[in-house]
Structure 1
Amino acid sequence: MTDIVQRYFDAFNAGDTDAMLACLSDDVAHHVNEGDIRIGKPAFASFCDHMTRCYRENLTDMVIFHNEDGTRAAAEFVVNGTYLATDEGLPEAKGQTYKLTAGSFFDVANGKITRVTTRYNLSDWIAQVS
């Protein structure tokens, strides 16, 4: 079901965490590129707060795919970003801009996203901001 995934990404690009959360199940599993799996909307909201503090990003060139029954989806896109505040363990932030290709994968049930997995090339990002 690409509709819920499209709404999720529209909310991301609008910087609207509440609208993103509205797309998620209460027990959403959030698999980040580097780090532990976060379970539940509160953990997802905390992640979003951290990301908003450290990064400003806009996603373009979005292509969304889904399986026939709408229970799984994937998206490929370009992340256009600015590194705003130093993220722990990463290079110092000085307002550097970056551009990365990335992908996200979703499980969907009962009209809500139950899993979000995002992947990008961390080495490429580090090279761009170093």
Structure 2
Amino acid sequence: MEPIKIYPTRNTPAVLLDPSKGVFKLFGRSSPENSIQFYEPLRSTLSSEMVSDRLDVRIKMEYFNTSSSKCIYDLLKEIKSLEVKGKEVIVRWYYDEDDEDMLEAGEDYSDLLDMNFRFIEYHPNEQPNRKSA
């Protein structure tokens, strides 16, 4: 199974989903014309091809629209089901220090799905910390 790699555009985030290594990264902006069409292959892959016993999830969104929000929730629901099946899941939710809405969105997902997220504040003008990124 090949990893899914999607490069970012003005309307879609960067994605790396590697089921064999247990890595899922979602970074950028999300306002595609058809959110379901963009996100469904990711949800399907999480559902059917995740072979690693561990899943490291890193989400660092600058913006997402309402339809993307629902799709991200569905992805996280799928990730929660993997956790329930016994996989070790770590979710890191990155948010800009000045973006309380993005922090609250992560907190809402965490509460709704009863999942522990690690919330990591970042400063947009600083170089990323290799240990937390």
Query: Shorter-chain-normalised TM-score: which range?
Result: under 0.3
Structure number with greater CO (CA < 8 Å, separation at least 6) is 1
Larger strand percent: 1
So what's the TM-score if we normalise by structure 1? 0.23
So what's the TM-score if we normalise by structure 2? 0.22
Larger helix percent: 2
